Chain A
Amino acid sequence: DAMVIQNPRYQVTQFGKPVTLSCSQTLNHNVMYWYQQKSSQAPKLLFHYYDKDFNNEADTPDNFQSRRPNTSFCFLDIRSPGLGDAAMYLCATSRGQGSYNEQFFGPGTRLTVL
């Protein structure tokens, strides 16, 4: 089945220690998104790639970076995680960038910061 895969499902890191979360897709979609979802809150868009074009949300902290080396993979790098970065991180894809495009979500990676 075509899908969005996130690894690992659970990630524990130490305060200030860089961490990378991974997302891959077999849907061959052009757009890949990263969302942050804190407990009891709505998912919040951090940034997205349309093909190789990176689009950062205005309020995404500089601490968060992303890479998309090819169509299938996208990475979320947190350079110096703080306690406030503990959250579920969701990856999503869509065929196109317009508002009519359904987004397909991965299972998420739950990040714990010690």
Chain B
Amino acid sequence: AQSVSQHNHHVILSEAASLELGCNYSYGGTVNLFWYVQYPGQHLQLLLKYFSGDPLVKGIKGFEAEFIKSKFSFNLRKPSVQWSDTAEYFCAVNAEQGGKLIFGQGTELSVKP
């Protein structure tokens, strides 16, 4: 069965620190990859997505992610985090025609001002 693994459950950083959140998936075929963010009290919203082409994708709010097919990974990065980036981040994979998203367990990011 397909699965998505996010290695860090809770990450605490100071403002201006660099961020990298890990995401690995298990599926041997073609995948579409997503990172969603959920700010406190708000709904899940899309940060970025990868379908094909350049494996380095840029999203909103200065986030980017790199798809490394050989490692089955899609790690999220940001060079310098802000307090407003405090949120929960979910990696998700869609590998089926039916559009079924498989989510990771989420990583809670706390940024200290």
Contacts and interface: CB of A to CB of B under 8 A. Distances in A.
A108 B49 contact: no
Contacts of A48: 99
A45 B2 CA distance: 13
A98 B97 contact: yes
A57 B76 CA distance: 29
Interface string A78-104: 000000000000101010111111110
Contacts, number: 55
A30 to B, nearest CB: 11
Interface residues of B, number: 26
Contact of B99 (A4, A41, A94, A106): A94
B4 A42 contact: yes
Interface in A1-35: 4, 31
Nearest to A107: B43
Given A42-B105, A45-B101, 6 more contacts: A40-B105, A40-B106, A42-B103, A43-B103, A48-B99, A103-B101
A55 interface: yes
Contacts of B42: 107
Interface stretch (B14-22, B64-72, B79-87, B88-96): B88-96
A74 B56 CA distance: 37
B98 A55 contact: yes
A43 B94 CA distance: 14
Nearest to A98: B99
23 contacts: A4-B43, A31-B99, A40-B9, A41-B105, A43-B44, A43-B90, A43-B101, A90-B44, A94-B99, A97-B98, A97-B99, A99-B32, A99-B95, A99-B96, A100-B32, A100-B51, A101-B99, A102-B46, A102-B49, A103-B99, A103-B101, A105-B36, A108-B43
Contacts of A43: 44, 90, 101, 103
Contacts of B43: 4, 90, 105-108
